[in-house]
Amino acid sequence: MEKEKENVRDMHMGKLVHMLSNQLKRRDSMEAGPSDLTHMQRLVLRFILLRSLHLDLYQKDIEEEFHIRKSTATGILQLLEKKGFISRESVEQDGRLKRLVPTKKAEGYREKILENIRENEARMEQGIPREDYEACKLVLWKVFENLMEEEKKEERRRRDESKTISINP
């Protein structure tokens, strides 16, 4: 056990997060959702299935939830639509706005997805005191925020740079 602790202490946070992410992807691909979808497509479908129970969803919600660009979200949603997992319905107030609606085909996966989430959460919490588990989640969220802030700074820098270039040809 001491050797494990030493190895973890010497490990970069990014490597540990990457290992955890790979493990979760493996579990997800083995257990939940349609096998003809990529991991990211399954995550988006899962989000649509669970969130649409309570709220209307739009492409912008997908972009914000997964921190992806509009073009990436468009590609994923077009594929989910083509494979019959979602449909897009016009909204009464604005015909340009399309609500994302899971189809009956997608609905068939909802309970299995919920079961998979419960099982994975229980597996991850196993042997960890609740307080430590919650502290870990808070630390991981802060790490995420730090990285997002850095990304936002870089985007602002690029935007400012492009303005300077277009102003001073």
What's the predicted TM-score (pTM) here? 0.65
Distances in Å between the alpha carbon of 110 and those of 3, 47, 48, 49, 52? 41, 10, 10, 6, 11
Q: Which two tokens stand for residue 95?
A: 């015909």
Segments making up each domain of the chain, as ranges: 32-126, 128-169
Q: For residue 26, what pLDDT band results from cuts at 50, 70 and 90?
A: confident
132-142 confidence digits (pLDDT tens) = 999 999 999 99
Return the C-alpha torsion angle 78, 83, 85, 86, nearest 10: 30
Q: For residue 28, what pLDDT band results from cuts at 50, 70 and 90?
A: low
Q: For residue 49, what pLDDT band results from cuts at 50, 70 and 90?
A: very high
Which amino acid is present at 155?
E
Give the model's pLDDT for residue 29. Answer: 57
CATH number at 32-126: 1.10.10.10
User: Pairing state of beta strands 94-102 and 86-91?
Assistant: antiparallel
